[in-house]
Amino acid sequence: MDSMAFSGALMLLGSLLIATPLAAVNAAEKSVYDFSMTTIDGKPIPLSTYKGKVLLVVNVASRCGFTPQYKDLEALYLKYREQGFVILGFPANNFRGQEPGTDAEIKEFCTLNYGVTFPMFSKISVKGSDQHPLYRYLTSDEANPSTSGEVQWNFQKYLVGRDGKVLAKFLSRVKPFSEEVTAAVENALKAK
């Protein structure tokens, strides 16, 4: 093979690798525990820290019609945390600029207005070309066919089992204390 053909083959291979979504690479073998995130205070933390817990992963925003769900999310967290339940809040500004603040401003807002004590993380993108790999995994058809699809709005919720696999997705309008969510959380907590 001459050098020009070899260069062309390398370029083709490179473009195929770039075009392959991260979620498609070994997606079936991944879990939420494979990701590391940054807390709202700027500290890196592997999500494997929560291994063995039931998680509710929520993209949140401070200026949304669903923002009052913070109150119910905190109450849900307090109700089930002793059983191994954790809510992970991920601020995102993907929907009509409804989370424009800095991490410090978001933390202050959540603490002062809703008394949030569940773990909050640094602002990320949950959709689009700059989508965070965690959300690429959560929305992947290959990794999570029963819950896949683009994040529709703020306060969309993903229930994750003790094994780090996604169990259910709840759209924004589904309230944290709805029977649908609480039953799914209780079932996940019963599973060992």
Active site residues: 64
Query: Measured between alpha carbons, how far apart are the two ends of the chain, in Å?
Result: 56
Contact 134, 14 (CB under 8 A): no
Contact 61, 154 (CB under 8 A): yes
Candidates 109, 126, 35, 39; CA nearest to 67 is: 109
- Going 91 to 115 to 54 to 175, the CA torsion angle's sign is negative
Radius of gyration of the chain (CA): 18
Return the structure tokens found at 130: 């700059």
Distance CA 134, CA 127 (A): 11
Contacts of 180 (CB under 8 A, 6+ apart): 170, 174
